[in-house]
Chains A and B, each alone.
Chain A
Amino acid sequence: MNIAELPDIQPYSLRKADKEKLLNTTLTSLSRHHYAYCAPYRKMMDGIGFDPKKDYHYVDLMFLPVQLFGMIELCSAPKEEIVRTLTSSGTSGQARSLIFLDKETAANQTKVLTKIMSSFIGTKRAPMIIIDSESVIKNRNLLSANVAAISGFSLFGSTRMFALNEKMELNTELLKSFIEQHESERILIFGFTFKVYRHFYKELIKAGIKPDLSNAVLIHGGGWKKLENESVSAKEFNKKLNDVCGIRRVYNYYGMVEQTGSIYMECEYGHFHTSVFSDIIIRRAHDFSPADVGEEGIIQVLSILPKSYPGHSLLTEDKGILLGEDDCSCGRLGKYFKVTGRLEHAEIRGCSDTYDGKIN
């Protein structure tokens, strides 16, 4: 599947039946592609019973648990064609994942991210404040998930300003002068949810500063990570930021390094949306069958982008609820859903763990 084949398609423009057709073809052909070019993937598919000759409905295609990318190197392109390797730390205690990108997949990720973002914030670049420290992006070939996201979203900035110093402290002077300098322009702000909350919102409160960002647009994602106990609801998050800097347009997104590009943006009604480039299926843990609308389950994410690694159909460790399809009040077509949390690690009974602390 080449994204160039969909040059003019709008991200939220396909109804269920049309999208199904598109996904059946593209996702099945991706499964075949990875089966042919990724030896470990082929062994997995042979074991689970995938038939490369069969035409699958995409709901019946196999999915890989995301944690596998931390256990096995999975690459479907010749190693010499890999231009970038993304890495995520995974959840605590897990090995970090490696995601191999060739030129085509990397370019498609950028194209699709641009398409999705443009439909929310327009195509015009704007001055951009990044709620992070510039030091985190001074990196080499190996890109962490954070850096990948920052550099992806940076494309929308005409100029960029990193709001945090190396100690992750808010540089209030720099922030003030940047806002003054771009007084008449619409400013974009990007950051990870927990960093925006801890290093931007809380720091502004502490410093007693109320910058005027009423004309700005905030894009944030990535959830709360280790700050789960500090987390606030989306509504509260937006209200608090509005209180401190007057910001009104806040967009959260759901995404992961294993499927960079085809992110799920939150609409004005607080729902995450699948685009024509992606889909989600909520699965029941009991038998992995698709859950009904309104029923909580494990989130499976699908994306038509991953070609250089077999990440087009993944089972996440997140729980979510499908809210509907093609009928969100915001008018965007496609499935819309909410994320309800992480899958808890079960308390496992057994006799192999006497250590009461964390071993590093």
Chain B
Amino acid sequence: MSKLTFSIGGVHPDDSKLSKDCAIEVLPLPQTVYVSMNQHLGAPAKPLVTVGDKVLAGQVIAEPGGFISAYVHSPVSGTVKSIGPRKDLAGNPAVHVEIAVEGDEWVEGIDFSNDIDVNIKLDREQIIERVKMCGVVGLGGATFPTHVKLCPPPGKTAECLIINGAECEPYLTSDYRIMLEKSKEIVIGAAIMQKALGGCPCVIGIEDNKPEAIAAMSDAVASLPYEGIRVAVLAKRYPQGGEKQLINAVMGREVPPGALPIDAGAVVQNAGTALAVYEAVQKNKPLVTNVLTVTGNCLPVSAQHNYLFRIGTPISFIIEQAGGIPEGAAKVISGGPMMGKAIANLDATTVKGSSSVLYLSEESTRRWKESSCIRCGRCAEACPMGLEPFLLNRLVKAGDLEGLEAAAVMDCIECGCCLYSCPAGIPLLDRIRPAKGQVIGILKARNAKK
């Protein structure tokens, strides 16, 4: 099989998939969970419970706060202790529902059997409704509500469904493990979304540094009776799993600036999302669990884990279960080392999109002292959007918003390739990221004038 890849830029960080052989374990229940109302892209959810309410696992506790928003379910059974602001992992307050865990009772109607249900009984509308009611959001990082993505706007049709199994971020192995252990479920999830999108072909893209996953997924596709699903091998290159790069790699198309993937006829869903869709549609199970990797370069492999956790489990509880913060860890990150967020508050809770607790040593993660740009052009070479980060950096420093707009700063996908590759240690992305917000400001002001 030939390897597919995107055409512009990219970097090759060491993939460091240290925890790839750690089978998924079920994380024990904590005593208290904190369920954030703001764990998806879009408007925060509105709590439906009040303090003192008894809730069951899988019960709806919050409804969408807007069109782009999602239902939130209780991950445990117990009593609602409080509803109010609590610090998220950046230390900023967000509304959380605190539930004291009592036993583990689930709402009725969920199929807990391990039987694989191949037969997709629901029709298109029912699938979308079920995905929405089960609170499924994209688990690749952006946590965009899945049901919205499954309903292309009028006049646009999905020509290809891409299941993102690239997992191009170093260290992370949660998608890899589910592709090994839940291959059939993921393929069925893909088939369900295929049906919801009107039967377009489906490509499952996996990077070539995961040959076992490629084999497992190919076997699953071959053994299941669906048509138009195939596995594509992608080259190992970051950001292969970026939505725009994946569309470029798989379909050979590029999404125009400012447009959505659907404008190029593509719908991209993460492998974890496909699993969540399967569980929602075939098993009637809402999105209250997810798989997360505990890994890092200062953690012995024996202490690394892939955990099936209840969404809302405090990060500090997971750290404790995994044996505490290891010696030599200088930074704790939620997500991958390229796009993940540094955790400033370890008491914060896990959310639907949590994919890892990553410990990095000081030597590997400490930023370099910034020195002068030597015009080597590595940032421009690495940028998968073909931008010129050195130029954007200069424009940001000069405060030239019009210049930034002309230099296509809004195309930036914040993948971090520029900062990663800069030999002078210039914090390019740090500076470019806020500039995007400022440029949005002038764009809005201009539109308001018109």
Q: Do A and B bind each other?
A: no
Q: Which residues of B contact A (CB under 8 A)?
A: none
